[in-house]
Structure 1
Amino acid sequence: MFMTRSKISVIVAEFFGTALLTSAVLAQVNSNVIVNKTWFVAAIAGLTLTTIVLTIGRVSGAHVNPAITIGLWTLRKIETTTAIVYIAAQLLGAAVALRLFQYLQNDVLQNIAGPFEWRIFVAEAVGALVFSFGVAAAVTQKLQGLRAAFAIGTSLMLGAIIASTASNGILNPAVALGLNSWSLTYLAAPILGAVLGMNLYDLFLAPESELKAQSKAMEPAPAKKVAKSKKKK
């Protein structure tokens, strides 16, 4: 069959994981918390992503973010077709989370993206770069379980806090869609930051064994030797 159980599981994992992350951020952004909302939302997002990595990480890798998927694609960690399927599932999950939230609130969210400003773009890109550093570390060092979840979750929290000095600190195009903060800034900046962050980590900080494996994978296949037929005397 074309759609095997494992392939369906990957799609469901990315859909559900992104919907869960979007729902958690939506709930906190629209809550009336007394403490510093920026830090609180960043902490909730990081904790939620930690939980997602622990629960579905072994199924799909728990990207739940188009920027992370594209960043890993540039490192050749994921095939093009698979990356497209991941991104489609992520965007659909975020859209469903938005519709569910608006239904439960009986209200329509206003667009919070705001006009384009370079400082906001840079803030989102830098935050995504910091976040993707943690993801790249977990992937290249082959961290598993709680170690991977902690590295990725805390990296998101730190990146979101840094970005929120000038932007909404979303760092995720899918979540931006779910927050009704969809714009060029919140679409392109996280992708740019993730691509830069992952490739910088891979270039300067990746373990030597990983670099050797990548170098070997990029080498052309050796030419097959054609056996010469013996001439009959």
Structure 2
Amino acid sequence: MTVFADLVSDPSLLPVLETSAEAHRECQKLIDLLDPSDAARDDPSAAEQRRAAISRQQKTVYALLAKLRGLNRDAILRVRETKQATAEARQEIDRLHLQLQNLYYEQRHLMSEIAACESYDHQYRNLPLIPVEEFLELHPHLRDADEHELMIARINHEHAEREKLEQARQELLKRKQALIAENKKRKDDLASLDQDLEKFIDAAKPIQKIFEKEY
């Protein structure tokens, strides 16, 4: 039992080894009682005592064997439970490993996307923005902003300035259209005045001829 106890590390199996060793000892006692060499020397009274001792020893052995079978059955059930728990744990590990692999591939994909975005020659880099120092003089509260926030603020500033310029351009365009319309109206008025004047001159020609005849 000592040899097997050194090999077995599960505490639940130690009672099995102890019962097995005890059953082995009791079986050996029973074998000694059943030795025919001793039976030949027994007298009738001793033989009766011997048979009673054999019966008692058999009961002890049977009880130990029944106990050993029960312990063996329990050990088998525990082994099955352990195998089931091990299989479930292995499935969970496989699931977690697959999930970890998926996260690893997703991480690589995101890192690739980030690298592509960082290396992308975006149009905002070519915008004619005002210099940083000049912008910070207009907006001193942004001096502690990071590069990303500062760039967004500069772009928003440029957008606002361009909207102002566009509004001014639209106003100038409206004024231009109004001046063109006014000039056209004046030109039409002058043309109409010229026509009226020519008509007046044509109408005055007979009177002019009369004056020329009299003088």
TM-score (norm 2): 0.23
Higher relative contact order (CA 8 A, sep 6+): 1
Q: Say which structure is richer in helix.
A: 2
Larger radius of gyration: 2
